Amino acid sequence: MKISERVVLKFPKDLVDKPAISNLVRRYNIEFNILQAQILPQKEGLMIVVFSGEEHIVKQALKELKNQNVSVQKLKQDILRDEKICTHCGACVGLCPTGAFYYDKSSKKVIFDYEKCITCMICVKGCMVKAIKIRF
Amino acid sequence: MKTIQEINEKIKQGKAVVVTAEEMVDIVRIKGESKAAKMVDVVTTGTFGPMCSSSIYLNFGHSSPRIKIGGGTCLLNGVPAYTGLAAVDVYLGATALPPNDPGNLFYPGEFSYGGGHIIEELVSGKSVLLEATSYGTDCYPRKHIRTYFTLKDINEAVLFNPRNCYQNYNVAVNASERMLYTYMGILKPKFGNANFCSAGVLSPLLRDPEYCTLGIGTKIFLCGSCGYIVWHGTQHNPCVERTPEGIPKQPAGTLAVIGNLKQMNPEFIKGASFVGYGVTLIVGIGIPIPVVDEKIAFWCGLPAEKMFAPVVDYSTAYPERKPDILAEVSYAELFSGKIRIGNRVVPTGSLSSFFMARRIAETLKNWITNQKFMLTNPVAKIPGKQSGVHLKNLEIREQYQ
């Protein structure tokens, strides 16, 4: 079964300059999408990544990351948009750093693409009718 | 040339051609304004955005024994209403806050509840708590009252908005290094985003930019019911610079509107909270524009590429009231999702809902097509671009003169 796993990775200082993700992808043939990354030389690195692939392969790949001393945590907070409250104004559209909120060209509705969301939560503050909620 | 009376006759006979302003753009592009003027009778518009200068007044009816709330105090769900009127008339503005709201003490404040939310709850049929005090008189002996009420229980509930429906508006950006929390939403530092607030091609006053067909007495769609234009709005500023087509390039005309709160639909009137700024009311307005001549057809058919908004820095220019404009961008660019300011590409977001604006224009179109809504001749005009009416600034004068 194919799955998508959203994880927060923390790289120790000594791993930051190593191509850990690239090695992993080459080895396990999984897809990845970096939602957010903060990697600086000689500092702990942080990355939010979605891995997609066959379930057992994704699990194996994450296990290998852990073995390399990378801290692996599931992204725990979720953003939920309440369709009943949303007025489709788009106050969230310009704020969203990843384009997870965007206008549908024909219906003019604001669409929320959960897969692109990095739960930075700026939309929660920016929504004037409180249609966006956090689920822990 | 057609008169509003002639158009009304056509509406009654079910022969009127009614289109939304969005549809009119295509019609004029294909057929030209001359044919479009003959073909189309009414263009419907719509807008659905936060409009702070909105308010209600209520008359509760009299309790036994009577109380004179006038000159006393009044709280509605803990939010103070103005009582300087007759015994049981009170006035509540959209931006009113409970006295214990911390404001921006813990910056940015949440402003989770206030006047705008109470107005929405009343329209939704919810009960609201009235707590009032008075000093007591021979004719009004009661000194305190505490009761729940709904819109159905009271005599009058009127939405009266001194300034709605801005003709064009600023695009807000933030040139500073820190996040800003404004009435134009959250503005990320270093031009991180640009917020605008207009329905563009659907925006009512951009379609009759010289106020030829509308004025005092014009019947409009107001929050799901029929309302009326009662005056020009506060800060009405018709003499700003305009494009060669006559469209203002800055915030310009405004309208004061009125309507029966009891008949409104909660889908089209919503309380809103702006983090770090305050509470307001989102108001839905639609104005029918009678296509009386080619000029109106031309205006109603202008595409978003021909309407421009000024980009203003809300870190310095706006708060310090400097006239600086960073750029002029078209509504086509704004709705595309990004604008160019110098060599920067900035993502855009709208505070006004185009989706809802379209629903309003479509609703009004259906009402007119189904003979549920007739057009009105205004009884008086609002000040136009030749009126010499200009926005005044408040200069600080510390000495009495």
Q: What is the pLDDT of residue B213?
A: 98
Closest Cα in chain A, distance from residue B398 (Å) = 38
The number of angstroms, rounded, from the C-alpha of B86 to the middle of its chain's C-alpha atoms is: 28
Please give the backbone phi and psi of residue A33, each rounded to the nearest 5 degrees, phi first: -140, 115
Domain of residue B143, residue span = 55-159
Residue B107: inside a domain, yes or no? yes
List the Cα angle B205/B208/B213 in 5-degree steps. 115
Look at residue B400 and tell me whether its pLDDT is greater than 80: yes
Which B positions 99-118 lie with beta carbon below 8 A of chain A?
A: 108, 112
Interval A63-77 mean pLDDT? 85
Which B positions 301-360 lie with beta carbon below 8 A of chain A?
A: 335, 337, 347-356, 358
- A130 interfaces chain B, CB cutoff of 8 Å: yes
Q: Would you list the DSSP string of B236-279?
A: --TTS-B-TTS-BSSS---EEEEEEGGG--GGGEEEEEETTTEE
Interval B52-80 mean pLDDT? 98
Residue B105: inside a domain, yes or no? yes
Residue B394: inside a domain, yes or no? no
Tokens 């060209």 correspond to A105
d(CA A99, CA A107): 18
Contacts of A90 in chain B (CB under 8 A): 349-351, 353-354
Look at residue A16 and tell me whether its pLDDT is greater than 80: no
ipTM for the whole complex: 0.94
Residue B149: inside a domain, yes or no? yes
Greater confidence (B253 vs A76) lies with: B253
d(CA B127, CA A62): 54
Q: What is the pLDDT of residues B188-215, one digit of tens each?
A: 999 999 999 999 999 999 999 999 999 9
Give the alpha-carbon dihedral of B107, B108, B110, B114, to 10 degrees: 90
Look at residue B388 and tell me whether its pLDDT is greater than 90: yes
B300 catalytic per annotation: no
Residue B132: inside a domain, yes or no? yes
Residue B89: inside a domain, yes or no? yes
Say how many domains are in chain B.
Answer: 1
The number of angstroms, rounded, from the C-alpha of B105 to the middle of its chain's C-alpha atoms is: 29
Residue B141: inside a domain, yes or no? yes
Contacts of B95 in chain A (CB under 8 A): none
Q: What is the pLDDT of residues B75-130, one digit of tens each?
A: 999 999 999 999 999 999 999 999 999 999 999 999 999 999 999 999 999 999 99
For chain A, domains (ranges, CATH) are 2-74 (3.30.70.260), 78-135 (3.30.70.20)
d(CA B245, CA B247): 6
Q: What is the pLDDT of residue B270?
A: 98
Residue B342: inside a domain, yes or no? no
Interval B289-304 mean pLDDT? 98
